[in-house]
Amino acid sequence: DTAVSQTPKYLVTQMGNDKSIKCEQNLGHDTMYWYKQDSKKFLKIMFSYNNKELIINETVPNRFSPKSPDKAHLNLHINSLELGDSAVYFCASRGDGRSGNTIYFGEGSWLTVV
Amino acid sequence: GDSVTQMEGPVTLSEEAFLTINCTYTATGYPSLFWYVQYPGEGLQLLLKATKADDKGSNKGFEATYRKETTSFHLEKGSVQVSDSAVYFCAVQGGSEKLVFGKGTKLTVNP
């Protein structure tokens, strides 16, 4: 069983479209994240949720909207896609201090905007 | 905020060579330190971690020691293999909830 799974793995779409990436973790963790990896491989946090509540929101355009229907899911919706949104998006999760603070990542979603 | 400075790549080595990738950090409180690896076309995998000063993390022949006095967490391997070719990321998790990454170091190992 994959601990942190995200779909789709690959997504090619046109500018201006709206798309979603889904993420689910079966680790029982309370905290989930979205990270973006740009073309130079640089990884930067976008959002963090703890028990469905937003706790970190870095400087991300309003076109990006995370949604957490329950603590095992954190989806990322992107409106009006732009060329610069092309990147790899990683979902991740972390348990509380008692279960360790290691952050586990999904396999990534490769988004290409054309 | 927290930050990581990681050795610039790319690094190219011959098989069985010794590897060191330098990493230094700044963080508040008592941070935890991590190395993640990303193989070509794949996601991020945790390679090793250390949660307090003088801890040594190790996995798959890789090692890194948490040095608080020098704020460093250098990655080492005594004998690299072609299959170690990947991008390696040093990361710090300080007082905030987030993991802050270095810029990554691409390693290529030639047979």
Q: What is the pLDDT of residues A39-84, one digit of tens each?
A: 999 999 999 998 888 888 887 899 999 999 998 999 999 999 999 9
CB atoms within 10 A of CB A75: 18
Task: For B41-108, give the secondary structure using H, E and C.
Answer: CCCEEEEEEECCCCCEEEECCEEEECECCCCECCEEECCCCHHHCEEEEEEEECCCCCCEECCCEEEE
Min distance A31 CA to chain B CA atoms (Å): 9
Whether A95 contacts chain B with CB within 8 A:
no
For residue B82, count CB atoms less than 10 angstroms from its CB and return exposed for 0-12, middle for 13-18, buried for 19 or more.
exposed
pLDDT higher than 70, residue A97? no
Please tell me the distance from the alpha carbon of residue B31 to that of residue A54, in angstroms, as a whole number.
22
Contact A42 B42 (CB under 8 A): no
Average per-residue pLDDT for chain A: 91
At B105, list the tokens. 């170091």
Whether B46 contacts chain A with CB within 8 A:
yes
Kind and range of the H or E run holding B22: none
What pLDDT is recorded for position B9? 84
pLDDT band at A100 (very low <50, low <70, confident <90, very high): low
Contact B97 A55 (CB under 8 A): yes
What pLDDT is recorded for position B44? 92
At A107, list the tokens. 């396999």
Please tell me the distance from the alpha carbon of residue A88 to that of residue A86, in angstroms, as a whole number.
7
What pLDDT is recorded for position A57? 86
User: What is the mean pLDDT of each successive set of 10 residues along chain B, which is 111 residues long?
Assistant: 90 97 92 94 92 95 96 97 97 84 96 95
pLDDT higher than 90, residue A92? yes
**Residues paired with A91 in a beta bridge:** A34
What pLDDT is recorded for position B98? 83
What pLDDT is recorded for position A63? 95
pLDDT higher than 60, residue A99? no
Quote the distance between the C-alpha of residue A4 and its chain's center.
11
Bridge-based pairing of strands B11-14 and B105-110 is: parallel
> Chain A: residue nearest B45 by CA?
A105
What pLDDT is recorded for position B95? 73
What pLDDT is recorded for position A110? 96
Min distance A77 CA to chain B CA atoms (Å): 20
pLDDT higher than 90, residue A101? no
Interface mutation target, options B45, B47, B55, B99, chain A, most CBs of A under 10 Å = B99
List of chain B residues whose C-beta atoms are within 8 Å of the C-beta of residue A48: 97-98
Contact A42 B104 (CB under 8 A): yes
